[in-house]
Amino acid sequence: GAVVSQHPSWVICKSGTSVKIECRSLDFQATTMFWYRQFPKQSLMLMATSNEGSKATYEQGVEKDKFLINHASLTLSTLTVTSAHPEDSSFYICSARAGTGGWEEQFFGPGTRLTVL
Amino acid sequence: GQNIDQPTEMTATEGAIVQINCTYQTSGFNGLFWYQQHAGEAPTFLSYNVLDGLEEKGRFSSFLSRSKGYSYLLLKELQMKDSASYLCAFMDSNYQLIWGAGTKLIIKP
């Protein structure tokens, strides 16, 4: 299957700082990328959907000014957690899809574990 | 509205068979997915059903009944490495995945 990478795998930062997470599709062009957040023992929660070259669509309750998403190319999307706080500590996972509609398998990145002190 | 439900945790014995059920409600449906997720890792794709019936793939099979809003994942010849969370998700009319909370499967020797 297709490969999606995320960087960094884990990050520890101080409260109030910003953290950028990269998601790359390595062997296919991802027209759509998804950002999820997963708290311990809970399911995946979709944060936002981004299509290359357009603004991300955020799910209800997700602050777009706090979680900045940029999908500048067909192989790269970034999530920036601005002014991070301890409650933002979570497992952030991106996924990528090649098509724009119909059934297209989502390929997941390995995830980024963020710990905010 | 939309919702999806699966058991929180199940326990099974190595070498046995286990069935993980998933029920859902939605007005728009474009298929049901099963993913496996080991602790601390991202989900990996197991199966996709869009038509009624059973899809078999090695030790894993997935079943769908659209009229009943019901799916199950069947795991045969359980191995210790199958200990993981199993997530079901349906794709709605906007082609967005709606995820269940996951079923943690514990395999005992």
Q: What is the DSSP letter of B68?
A: T
Q: According to the model, what pLDDT value does residue B18 have? A: 98
* Contact across the interface for A105 and B48, Cβ inside 8 Å: yes
Q: According to the model, what pLDDT value does residue B92 have? A: 87
Q: According to the model, what pLDDT value does residue A103 have? A: 60
**Greater model confidence, B96 or B54:** B54
* Contact across the interface for A46 and B99, Cβ inside 8 Å: yes
Mean pLDDT over B42-58 rounds to 92
Q: How far apart are CA A31 and CA A29, in angstroms?
A: 6
* Contact across the interface for A49 and B87, Cβ inside 8 Å: no
Best of A9, A21, A33, A44 to substitute, by most chain B Cβ atoms within 10 angstroms, is A44
Summarize pLDDT for B68-90 with one digit per residue, the tens. Answer: 999 999 999 999 999 999 999 99
Write the CB contacts of B38 (distance below 8 Å, at least 6 apart in sequence).
Answer: B84, B85
**Greater model confidence, A84 or A39:** A84
Q: How far apart are CA B105 and CA B39, in angstroms?
A: 11
| Phi, psi of A92, deg, nearest 5 | -105, 125
Which of A1-15, A27-41, A80-94, A95-109 is predicted least confidently? A95-109
Summarize pLDDT for B2-40 with one digit per residue, the tens. Answer: 899 999 999 999 999 999 999 999 999 989 999 999 988
Instruction: Assign A102 a pLDDT band (cuts: 50, 70, 90).
Output: low
The CA radius of gyration of chain A, in Å to the nearest whole number, is 13
* Contact across the interface for A113 and B45, Cβ inside 8 Å: no
Q: According to the model, what pLDDT value does residue B12 have? A: 97
Query: Which of A42, A46, A101 lies at the smallest CB-CB distance from B101?
Result: A42
Q: According to the model, what pLDDT value does residue A43 have? A: 80
Q: Is B82 left (phi over 0), alpha (psi -120 to 50) or beta?
A: alpha
Instruction: Assign B64 a pLDDT band (cuts: 50, 70, 90).
Output: very high
What are the beta bridge partners of residue A94?
A: A35
Mean pLDDT over A86-95 rounds to 94
DSSP A49-114: EEETTSPPEEPTT--TTTEEEEEEETTEEEEEE-S--GGG-EEEEEEEESSSSSS---EE---EEE
Mean pLDDT over A47-52 rounds to 90
Q: How far apart are CA B37 and CA B45, in angstroms?
A: 9
Query: Which of B43, B48, B101 lies at the smallest CB-CB distance from A108?
Result: B43
CB proximity B43 to A under 8 Å: yes
